[in-house]
Amino acid sequence: MSGVWGNKIKLSIFGESHGKAIGITINGLQPGIELDLDYINKEMERRAPGNSELTTPRKEKDSVDILSGFFNGKTTGSPLCAVIHNTNTQSKDYSRTKDLMRPSHGDLTGYIKYGGFNDYRGGGHFSGRITAPLVFAGAICKQILESKGIVIGSHIKRISTIEDESFNMVDLKEEELKELTKDAFPVLNKSVEAGMKEAIVKAKDEQDSVGGVIETAVLNLPIGLGEPFFDSVESTLAHLLFSVPAIKAVEFGAGFEIAKLRGSEANDEYYMDGDKIKTSSNNNGGILGGITNGMPLVFKVAVKPTASIGKAQNTIDIEKREVSKIEIVGRHDPCIVPRALPVIEAVTAIAIFELMQ
């Protein structure tokens, strides 16, 4: 099982949802980087479970214990290793259904690939809980990027069928993105917030779940990040975005909608704004030829409905090799979209940081 990503900065994640701890080792950080632990803790709190009726009731503080690579408030240059202890597990919920393969989970594929030796409790290493260490690493990268004027922010674009407005991909302000990160339920048009929350609560009451879409933007990137083909900005970002559990689609700029346009409509025409080169539209989402062009980098990700639901479903008993029924018990998010925002921002920061090395 591989839990390693990156070339210039290398991440290694470890742990299981109901194990003693989860964590990450980061190789490649330069010595002398000052880390704002309050900033990191705020990012961790954004992702942490159990903070509202919209999330799982599993309460975890997600306090980070840095074991190495950090001394007197700054990085030392050695591998930075951090752990997050699991303090509120209820593993008995999973022992009752350990042989029943949960639909749309990694249970069956994990069982087959690892010969039944994988930790099934809470999804084990397949769990979205493992994104907490990624948020820690992303918070470090976000700090470094912000010191260079690069700002990352997201909003909830959709919950189920309820849509928010989209970012203005040409004229997007730093302050708008910064304000969104302070909001527990960030939307551009506040009039849709109540309906989105209602859809989540309704699904929860009905022992079901809903998915959604997150739109993310990165401002003030220099022209020239990325490479054609294999190390393009899109491929680097997509690799990490698709590493986040439940992400099923990624689109940059106009995305799938660009396929409806003619070239004369889709092309982003150039103009000069003082000494800066800009485009009058941004259908390509700030990336051309796999390389940043100086416009806002904008993309969306589709998040599937939480697979663990209380409704009775058809499945198989892997031990008996026969059809069965499953009603999943335990503590699960009726919608993971609000808690996924800081994860998406984190992996975005990691990808941009890698590209800038």
Closest residue by Cα to residue 336 from 302, 310, 312: 302
What mean pLDDT value characterizes the chain?
Answer: 94
Give the model confidence (pLDDT) of 174-223 as tens digits.
Answer: 999 999 999 999 999 999 999 999 999 999 999 999 999 999 999 999 99
List the binding residues: 47, 125-127, 289, 304-308, 331
Distance CA 119, CA 241 (A): 24
List the binding residues for NADP(+): 47
Q: What is the predicted pLDDT for the residue at 88?
A: 67
Torsions phi, psi for 239 (to 5 deg): -55, -45
Task: Give every CB contact of residue 22 below 8 A, 6+ residues apart in sequence.
Answer: 13, 14, 15, 16, 83, 84, 86, 129, 130, 132, 133
Q: Which residues of 25-46 are buried (b: 16+ CB within 10 A; e: fewer)?
A: bbbbbeeebebeeeebbebbeb
pLDDT over 70 at 57, yes or no: no
What is the pTM assigned to this prediction? Answer: 0.95
Determine the average pLDDT of the residues in 61-71.
93
* Amino acid present at 317: D
**Percentage, residues of the chain above pLDDT 90:** 84
Question: In this structure, what token pair is assigned to residue 9?
Answer: 């900065």
pLDDT over 80 at 59, yes or no: no
- Of the two residues 196 and 55, the one the predictor is more confident about is 196
Please state, as a whole number, how many other Cβ atoms lie within 10 Å of the Cβ of residue 165.
13
Q: What is the predicted pLDDT for the residue at 96?
A: 74
Give the model confidence (pLDDT) of 332-342 as tens digits.
Answer: 899 999 999 99
Task: Give every CB contact of residue 38 below 8 A, 6+ residues apart in sequence.
Answer: none
Helix (H, G, I), strand (E, B) or coil at 346: helix
Q: What is the predicted pLDDT for the residue at 89?
A: 63
List the binding residues for FMN: 125-127, 289, 304-308, 331
Determine the average pLDDT of the residues in 91-111.
84
Determine the average pLDDT of the residues in 326-353.
93
Contact 169, 285 (CB under 8 A): yes
Note the CATH number of domain 4-356: 3.60.150.10
pLDDT over 80 at 132, yes or no: yes
Distance CA 77, CA 31 (A): 4
Distance CA 149, CA 100 (A): 50
CA contacts within 13 A on the Cβ side of 324: 17
pLDDT over 90 at 19, yes or no: no
